[in-house]
Structure 1
Amino acid sequence: MTSRIESANIQPCNHEAHRVEVHEWKSVAEFVSASVKPDGLHVIGTGAGTHLDILTSGNPYHAKGKPTLVIFNGAVSKRDERIPPFLSGRGIAHDTGWPFVAIADPSINISKDTSIAWYSGNSQVNVQQEIFRLLRPLSRAQNNLWLVGGSAGGFAALLFGHMLGNAASVFVWNAQTDIIEYSAGYVKNYLKYSFPEMAGRVNSGDWKKYARGEFRRHNFVHSIQDTVLPNQRPRKLLYIQNHNDWHVISHCVPYLKTFEYQRQGDGLYVQDENHVIWFPEIGNGHPAPQKDAIIQILKLASASDLSIVDSVEIMEATAVFPSDQRSPMTRPRDLRHWGKRITDRIRFDRSGEIISVVIRDLPKRYGGLNVEFLSYVEGKRIDRQPYNTGSFEYSVPTPENETVSVEIKVQDGFGNLLKFETMEFVPHTQHKLEDGA
């Protein structure tokens, strides 16, 4: 082991408050087998000139009696202005007083155009495999290990939580569960720089097929629900998904269905009392919980005398998220079993070039009800107001002398289509001709 490396390419990330000791290891095997692992930044070789960076504090491989945190990053903001490695969670660990390990994603270092890589890997190294080798002995040494992350970091925490099974617990928020179903621009950037052979294919119509093939070829997991066995699960799991984030339908619901979570109340889905998906109102869209909320959640979830269901009930009662935003009846749910009782309460009105969707005798967004408007001229789409705008009113585009066809689609919070209608809007000039006839 070499301590205190001075190198322009190996340094603590620029948002760490204090300089830390830096230690170098030839491999993950050398690191995990060492009897002494001093706190600090560990630069661990992974072959092919690459390395894995982790930050440790509180002697996590040997500390006893407290929960231990492993924290994964989400996307890196202002990537081109910052110096890797990128590590998160030092403030959370400091405020809890718990030992922690923060893991940087080495694939983000490949290009300043890459801000997110899901801890999966690249053509040089299988990062998932290396991190699993790093975490397995830690999970054996600790009886209250928590894997924590949001968004892309949530994908990593979920994946490794399932891989470690009963030896670890998981807390995630707004997690991705299938890399390829994330925002296409970010995924393509990651693929282009991490797998040079994909550079010429990321803009093709079937780029997702090529991407899945590339993941299989390198033995990477890109979809938790398509890969992980349902009966292989963490000891405890709290998956928080903001109620109106587009991740609900694209990422959370597929995971919820695969692992057969059942509704137990407004926004609460469970496998059992210690495996819970919760849809609270964190904010609008894809926000992370505030640090104080994360700390409160971790302290409750990790308590030995509380189940995860108990913890959520306490958080609901104490308004861990802003109480003025709480609206439990509008949290996402599957409304198909209501059938006509729901659809008969939905009416489409038009006034001039304005379409309004009216919900009668229910909260406007009951069960996550949402609307999409699509406008076409001669079969070609000219406009779209997608579901995630939250708007129930639409101003129809009116190209001169063109008839516009508008599709109106209403779906529930789980993405099930409940009602559909098409309206035709004839140009004003055509109305005048018909009136004159």
Structure 2
Amino acid sequence: MGYCMADAPIEVHDHAPVSPTEIPVAEDSGHLLYARGFLLTSSPVTAPVDHWRRARLGAWYLAYDPRNALTVASTDDGVWVALIGLALDLNGLSADRSAVVRSLLTARRRGRLAYLAAIDDLVGRFVVIDGDGTATRLQTDATAMRSVFYASASLPRVVAGHAQLVAEVAGADRSGFAAGGWLTDHGAYCLPGRATPYAGVAQLTPNTELELESREVHRVYPRTAPEPASVDETVDELRELLQGQVRELAARTPLMTSLTAGMDSRTTLAVTRPVHESVRYFTYSLRYGAHVDNAGHALDLTTARTLAGGLRLDHQVVIVGGTVEDEGLRRVMARNSQRIHNRGLAAAYLTDLPADRLHLRSNLFEIGRAYYRAQRRERPELTPETMAAILCKKNATDPDVVAEFAAFVADTGHTRFDGYDPYDLFYWEHRSGVWLSTVYLESDLAHDTYTVLNSRRIYGLLLGVPLESRIRGDVYLGLLRSMWPELLDWPVNGRPRAPESPRASSPRAAAPARAVAPTPTFDTRHQLAVQEHPDVERFELAVPAGVSRHRIVLEPNDPRGRRDEPLSLEAMVAARDSANLLVVFHGATDRAKYEHPRFEWQSTLAEFDASVLYLADPVLALAPDITLGWYVGTSAVDVSRHCARLVERLAGMLSATRVIMTGTSGGGFAALAASRLVPGSIAVPFAPQTTVSRYYKRRVRDYLTLAFPDHELEAVPALFADRLDMVEQYAKATDNYVYYVQNLRDAFHIREHLVPFAAAAGITGVGGTSADGSRMIVLEDLREGHGPPPKAQFVEQLVKARKFLTQRAADRTS
């Protein structure tokens, strides 16, 4: 969905989630009751837990656990949309909650189909509610992992995230399915249809929508047949969608995920490759009963330890006992989820794993793997009786079970759909939506949960792949081979698999597979072999397409320097089929947070129409505490000049006709410095420094002391003004273009850097264009104070700068 403004003004209220560590702890574990839940009623009621927040949604009263985010967008004419939980937009993964909900409301105002299509593009674990004064409707995420239960027409209007909470507030009695031993007596993995242990309380299943006033359920997906696609096409589309999610999530919150011997866990591991250094990986070890000697668990543990050791992952083994000793915690767990999965495991999550982590789960992969057809190709028509037989290994003809499935089919519209196998939808909507969601409810007291596949759009892609390919799991294997092929060096479920080289057709394929042991010529963070070059003039691309890593020796090139030590320039190239070459310089680097080399904006630029050259400032390798070097280099090594020559050579190799250099803050200075040395290129600095000596004195002193030890500190700015002062350089004519973006709420950089530059560059005031049209200043309201721009606006301005360059270059040649 796009992020355009609606016709009517939209007001957004965003209530950020509270960290679990900030929730007041109760001795009886009462603070964990209905964790991450919500309660929606048509009249005021007492919240089940004291720390829950309250809000009004139209005529409805909402109480919710503040561990959840709540974002509400509304217009003056009474239309509103509310989002509870975590959702990313696959069309703009960097969009924050307010932008996502604003866009949902914009779509909602365009019409119901536009709104449903917008929800299709969401991924995460959430509930979305909309209203307009006449009706209020509620949906879950794609697989209903954010569970929703509601009271039927015979009871008061109550909707909640836990079945027992609905029953308590609505006054529902226990149902026949609440009898102890029902699941065992029927050999069932969960209750039939939408049944719960409470009479008149039903579960909202995936792909349906609840109208709160009438309590009617309507099907909202699928609306059209899936588009047939090959495995390669699907892998190519999914790869960036999945890895883009973990990049964005890792930028927002710490992540953790489990490691096992299985294929789905291995695929999730591959998805986390871009951020694997910050992820906590764990494997649980069951130490009770028959599990102690269980071969499957032993294989999981052994494989996980071997993987973690070989890849140098942050890995933890979680020991799980057989019982939950704390009586208060046991009572809370019994109310949170009536279906017992492994309460000892949930308790271990609570006590042994970091509380601030988002749990990436490797569930829900089976939806794309034709689970039931993989067991038996030929199956009977999927009737309520057939559903009962699938669920119940015993007493499958129980009339209450068949009746529940008949109601499930009638109320949800679970009938045949063009292009979809009803067995796929049954697995999606019942086994996943009803059974698996109870597993998530059980562990909610410890962590929130996220699955990268949990989007209708993604499942539509997976279900468009041919049946035999789905049964073999070809898409998941293809994703693994394209994202981290070395992972297949370890057996999957104890069975070795021969790794394949990444497909040559993939524009973002990794370098050819090689050992992952860290060596000076292998980048373990980006999992790429590092090509070493003795100097810029002998720089070559070993692979003409895809992503590659490079280390280039920068020899002394400034005779004013009295030392002849070279520097080492770390670079990464994403070579694509494009006429544009984008060069990215990073800004100041928090050395406690980021390692050198730092390549900025990778996920943001993954789909940008350009080959991208990422450069890391080599001065940062000289000292562990230096944070900023402006790519100036040392007294003997002019890094900007070397970078400019590297850009010229790479542009020639890639046949790039447009060269764009960008960076924020100190990286913006570097873009200005290097671009002026490459005729026809454009510098796109964001809130840059323009004269090094006008920046904060301590930063300047630290850098000059390190890089110019052979000169008197006070003399350096004047002696090396050609490298340290872009105001002076742009007071002269240059053969490049400038598209200077300045944040309006950054007073220091406007006063100290923009104003002097604009005057020297021949631009009247602090905005506008130079007389010859080659230099332009753009004033934008980007953020409070100094810092990188929002991702969407960063890309937007790059696109505008590219158009500016194209037009000005055409004007110059006409």
Instruction: Choose the corresponding residue for 1:241, options 739, 742, 745.
Output: 742
Structure 1 portions without partners, runs of 5+: 202-206, 309-437
* Residue pair 2:566, 2:637 contacting (<8 A) in 1 also: no
Q: Name the counterpart of 2:538.
A: 30
* Residue pair 2:587, 2:666 contacting (<8 A) in 1 also: yes
Please give the per-residue CA displacement for 1:364-420, whole angstroms capped at 9, x wherever unaligned.
xxxxxxxxxxxxxxxxxxxxxxxxxxxxxxxxxxxxxxxxxxxxxxxxxxxxxxxxx
* Residue pair 2:730, 2:757 contacting (<8 A) in 1 also: no
* Residue pair 1:300, 1:306 contacting (<8 A) in 2 also: no
2-side partners of 1:280 and 1:49: how far apart? 40
2-side partners of 1:122 and 1:54: how far apart? 18
Shift of 1:303: 3.2
Q: Name the counterpart of 1:44.
A: 552
Instruction: For residue 238 of structure 1, give the secondary structure of its aligned residue in structure 2.
Output: strand
2-side partners of 1:93 and 1:37: how far apart? 16
Instruction: For residue 170 of structure 1, give the secondary structure of its aligned residue in structure 2.
Output: strand
Q: Name the counterpart of 2:728.
A: 226
2-side partners of 1:115 and 1:304: how far apart? 32
* Residue pair 1:93, 1:99 contacting (<8 A) in 2 also: no
2-side partners of 1:71 and 1:118: how far apart? 13
Shift of 1:295: 1.3
Shift of 1:91: 1.6
* Residue pair 1:136, 1:164 contacting (<8 A) in 2 also: yes
Greater mean alpha carbon deviation, residues 102-111 or residues 92-101: 92-101
Q: Which amino acid aligns with 1:114?
A: I
Q: Name the counterpart of 1:183.
A: 696
Whether 2:792 is the aligned partner of 1:292: answer yes
Instruction: For residue 188 of structure 1, give the secondary structure of its aligned residue in structure 2.
Output: helix
User: Which of structures 1 and 2 has the bigger CA Rg?
Assistant: 2
* Residue pair 1:4, 1:22 contacting (<8 A) in 2 also: no
Whether 2:210 is the aligned partner of 1:210: answer no
Change (3 A) 1:305 1:29: closer
1-side partners of 2:688 and 2:786: how far apart? 10
Change (3 A) 1:9 1:225: same
Shift of 1:287: 2.7
Shift of 1:85: 1.2
Shift of 1:10: 5.6
Please give the per-residue CA displacement for 1:108-148, whole angstroms capped at 9, x wherever unaligned.
11111101000011145221221122122345542221111
Q: Which amino acid aligns with 1:244?
A: R
Change (3 A) 1:221 1:83: same
Q: Which amino acid aligns with 1:303?
A: K
Instruction: For residue 95 of structure 1, give the secondary structure of its aligned residue in structure 2.
Output: coil
1-side partners of 2:805 and 2:726: how far apart? 30
Q: Name the counterpart of 2:16.
A: none
Change (3 A) 1:257 1:185: same
Change (3 A) 1:258 1:32: farther
Shift of 1:228: 4.3
Q: Which amino acid aligns with 1:40?
A: S
Instruction: For residue 163 of structure 1, give the secondary structure of its aligned residue in structure 2.
Output: coil
* Residue pair 1:13, 1:83 contacting (<8 A) in 2 also: no
More strand by share: 1
Q: Which amino acid aligns with 2:716?
A: A
Superposition pairs of residues 64-143 of structure 1, within 5 angstroms: 64-65=578-579, 67-77=580-590, 79-80=591-592, 82-123=594-635, 125-139=637-651, 141-143=655-657
2-side partners of 1:40 and 1:33: how far apart? 8
Change (3 A) 1:83 1:258: same
Superposition pairs of residues 196-207 of structure 1, within 5 angstroms: 196-197=709-710, 207=713
Instruction: For residue 121 of structure 1, give the secondary structure of its aligned residue in structure 2.
Output: coil
Instruction: For residue 221 of structure 1, give the secondary structure of its aligned residue in structure 2.
Output: helix
1-side partners of 2:616 and 2:805: how far apart? 33
* Residue pair 1:113, 1:189 contacting (<8 A) in 2 also: no
Superposition pairs of residues 360-399 of structure 1, within 5 angstroms: none
Instruction: For residue 117 of structure 1, give the secondary structure of its aligned residue in structure 2.
Output: coil
Change (3 A) 1:91 1:299: same
Q: Which amino acid aligns with 2:539?
A: F
Instruction: For residue 22 of structure 1, give the secondary structure of its aligned residue in structure 2.
Output: strand
Structure 2 portions without partners, runs of 5+: 1-512, 556-564, 809-814
Superposition pairs of residues 239-388 of structure 1, within 5 angstroms: 239-245=740-746, 246-262=748-764, 268-271=767-770, 273=773, 275-303=775-803
* Residue pair 1:12, 1:85 contacting (<8 A) in 2 also: no
Instruction: For residue 165 of structure 1, give the secondary structure of its aligned residue in structure 2.
Output: coil
Shift of 1:4: 7.0
Q: Name the counterpart of 1:195.
A: 708
* Residue pair 2:730, 2:761 contacting (<8 A) in 1 also: no
Q: Name the counterpart of 2:492.
A: none
Shift of 1:23: 0.9
Change (3 A) 1:180 1:36: same
2-side partners of 1:88 and 1:4: how far apart? 25
More helix by share: 2
Q: Which amino acid aligns with 1:53?
A: E
Instruction: Choose the corresponding residue for 1:158, options 672, 680, 696.
Output: 672
Q: Name the counterpart of 1:329.
A: none
Shift of 1:49: 5.4
Q: Name the counterpart of 2:571.
A: 54
Q: Name the counterpart of 1:322.
A: none
TM-score by length of 2: 0.32
2-side partners of 1:211 and 1:305: how far apart? 34
Change (3 A) 1:13 1:152: farther
Change (3 A) 1:273 1:227: closer
1-side partners of 2:608 and 2:545: how far apart? 21
Whether 2:535 is the aligned partner of 1:20: answer no
2-side partners of 1:213 and 1:304: how far apart? 34
2-side partners of 1:27 and 1:7: how far apart? 24
Q: Which amino acid aligns with 1:260?
A: G
Shift of 1:9: 5.2
Change (3 A) 1:187 1:163: same
2-side partners of 1:93 and 1:33: how far apart? 20
Change (3 A) 1:225 1:274: closer
* Residue pair 2:641, 2:677 contacting (<8 A) in 1 also: no
* Residue pair 1:13, 1:87 contacting (<8 A) in 2 also: no
2-side partners of 1:13 and 1:113: how far apart? 22
2-side partners of 1:159 and 1:82: how far apart? 24
2-side partners of 1:143 and 1:53: how far apart? 24
2-side partners of 1:105 and 1:158: how far apart? 15
Shift of 1:247: 0.9
Shift of 1:279: 2.1
TM-score by length of 1: 0.58
Whether 2:644 is the aligned partner of 1:144: answer no
Please give the per-residue CA displacement for 1:187-243, whole angstroms capped at 9, x wherever unaligned.
111112222345xx6xxxxx4x32225536xxx6100121345321424x3211112
Identity %: 22
Aligned residue pairs: how many?
Answer: 283
2-side partners of 1:52 and 1:183: how far apart? 26
* Residue pair 2:522, 2:528 contacting (<8 A) in 1 also: no
Shift of 1:183: 0.6
Instruction: For residue 103 of structure 1, give the secondary structure of its aligned residue in structure 2.
Output: strand
